[in-house]
Structures are given as C-alpha cells and as structure tokens.
Amino acid sequence: MPIKSFKPITPARRYMNVADFSVLTPKKKQPRKPRSLVGALSKSGGRNVYGRITVRHIGGGHKRKYRVIDFMRDKREIPAKVASIEYDPNRTVYIALLNYADGEKRYIIAPANLNVGDAVLASDTADIKPGNNLALSVIPTGTLIHNIEVEPGRGGRISRSAGGYAQLMAKEGEYCQVKMPSGEIRLLHSRCRASIGQLSNADHENITIGKAGRTRWLGIRPTNRGVSMNPIDHPHGGGEGKSSGGGHPRTPWGVPTKGYKTRNNKRTDAFIVKHRR
C-alpha cells in the first residue's frame, strides 16, 4: 500500500508521511456495526490500581473506541463475507468486518489481499486463501500464517501486527515447526489454529512520525535522557558538564538494556527448536 507524503511547507512536514488508506472502505459505504462490536476504552496513564506509574511515558492521546476483535475464530463451518475493511486506532493492522450467513457480525484482523465481498471460512476443509482459519495439521508446509494459537482453543496470540506473518516449516507427529516473526523456530501442537496469509498494512514500518505532536496524539509522552539526570535519578546521570554517562546502557533501576537476556520460562524451553539469536 502506498505512503502519502507532503509538500514541505514547514520543517516538520518535510519528512512526515502517512498511509494513504486507499485499501480501506470509505466511511459512507461502511455498514452499520452492532453496539456489541464497539466499546469504551478507559485510559490508565501508565498507572496501576494504586495510582503508581508502572509504565512511563504514557498519557493523553486521542480519544478512542475499542473494536472487539475475534481472535478465537470459533465460528466454524459457517461462511462469511467481508463487508468492509476498516482502520482500527488501537492496532497497526487493519480490520475486516465479516457478515456471517446466520446474520452475526464480527471483526477480524485483515490479511493483505483480502477485499470487500470475499468469502471467509473457519474450517479444516477451507481453501488455503487469505483470511481462512484452519488447524496447523491441515495447512501445507511453507504457508505464511498469522493469528496463531500457542495452546489449542486459547485464541490467536502470535503475529497480529501490521505486515506480520509466521511460516509453517515442518510437521513432526503431534507437533509442527513454526518460524516466528523474530526468526525463532518453535514447536506448536498440530491442533493449534492459524489464519492464512500475511497481515495488511505492511508499509507501517516505513511511516515517519515527523513531529513531536503526532506522538502525543498516540498517547506517548516525552522521554527524558538518563545522561541529563542526576546520579540519584539514573545510573547515567551526573558528571561535570555534558558527559555521556559511561558504563553499559542501563534502565533507571540498573537493568542492562542491550543484549541482556530477560527470558525466564524453563517450562517452555523444550519447544524452542532454534533461538532467534
């Protein structure tokens, strides 16, 4: 999908660009959505239930409504048609509104090359077409997949952002080898389900924010550098004049930030065939 740039009438406009949204269904042509598919979304400001900031640099941002997405794809053997492709402010990938044959409507994350009017089906006998949902055991090896379950029946967890995909590499008895977006190869049970195709909005990675205000619309507050702080506030702080910190890069709490392994889940180590490093 193309990216739209602007005439540099201001310094910020010179490098700023946006998605042109040409693949989306125009607002006037979008069907009415049931209230059950759109809900309120409260803001935390990065604070927990005690009012303490646990995630920094969060606050403000444009007001949003939450779109209820069907990651389970548990409406099996019932054909659906794509009614519209829409923008979702809560995620980078576009979403598709499905009209099922029994009258129900649901949102799914939209793969690339899925168009209005296309038929979509969640079934182990479905064709290998973008948007269809099948068990890993019946998907041909080499197929690009997304919205992948880690445990059967728990709903899609892996590869759900713009342009994302994993690849089914091999099948070994009850387990399948899946190459993750990170490059890691992992064993998943063959009863886990996945949707076919690469996800939409692959050009999201090429978008340049261009100005500070645009990050504020996204709810991201300014980030202060550690080297500009005092030693009591950050390990990089202090020193005479403008010093570069010294030592290895660390968080304000002293945890290394480059090359430091934080994974600690020995229970699932046996399912990793090849690490991403």
- What is the model's pLDDT at position 107? 97
Domain assignment present for residue 194? The answer is yes
Does residue 99 lie within any of the structural domains? yes
Q: Decide if 55 contacts 46 (C-beta within 8 A).
A: yes
Assess if residue 260 is contained within a domain: no
Read off the amino acid at residue 173.
Answer: G
- Residue 184 contacts by C-beta under 8 Å, 6 or more apart in sequence? 272, 274, 275, 276
Distance (Å, whole) CA 271 – CA 110: 29
Report the mean per-residue pLDDT for the chain. 95
Residue pLDDT, tens place only, 4-33 = 999 999 999 999 999 999 999 999 999 988
Task: Tell me the mean pLDDT in the region 101-112.
Answer: 96
DSSP state of 49: T
For 189-214, b where at least 16 C-beta lie within 10 A, e where not — what string? bbebbbbbbbbbbeebeebebbeeee
Q: How many domains does the chain have?
A: 1
Could you tell me what percent of the chain has a pLDDT over 70? Answer: 100
pLDDT-based confidence at residue 71 (cuts at 50, 70, 90): very high
Domain membership of residue 225 (yes or no) is no
Residue 106 makes CB contacts below 8 A (sequence gap 6+) with: 37, 70, 75, 80, 97, 98, 100
The one-letter amino acid code at 136 reads L
pLDDT exceeds cutoff 90 at 2: no
Strands (DSSP E) found in the chain:
3-5, 17-19, 38-40, 65-67, 80-86, 95-100, 105-109, 119-120, 133-135, 144-146, 148-149, 156-158, 166-172, 175-179, 185-189, 193-196, 272-274
- Classify each residue of 70-86 as buried b or exposed e, where b means 16 or more C-beta atoms within 10 Å of its C-beta: bbbbebeeebbebbbbb
Average pLDDT over residues 206-221: 96
Domain assignment of residue 252, yes or no: no
> What is the model's pLDDT at position 1?
63
Please state whether beta strands 185-189 and 119-120 pair in parallel, antiparallel, or not at all (unpaired): unpaired
Instruction: Answer whether residue 258 is part of any domain.
Output: no
* CATH number of the domain where residue 21 is located: 2.40.50.140
Threshold 0.85, pTM exceeds = yes
**Distance from C-alpha of 183 to C-alpha of 93, rounded to nearest angstrom:** 20
Asked if residue 120 is part of any domain, the answer here is yes
247 pLDDT tier (thresholds 50, 70, 90): confident
What's the pLDDT band for 140 if we cut at 50, 70, 90? very high
DSSP letter assigned to residue 33: P
| Residue 246 banded pLDDT, cuts 50, 70, 90 | confident
| 135, 138, 144, 146 alpha-carbon torsion, rounded to 10° | -10
CB 169 within 8 A of CB 183: no
What are the pLDDT digits (tens) for 167-186? Answer: 999 999 999 999 999 999 99
Whether residue 143 lies inside any domain: the answer is yes
**Domain containing residue 100:** 3-206
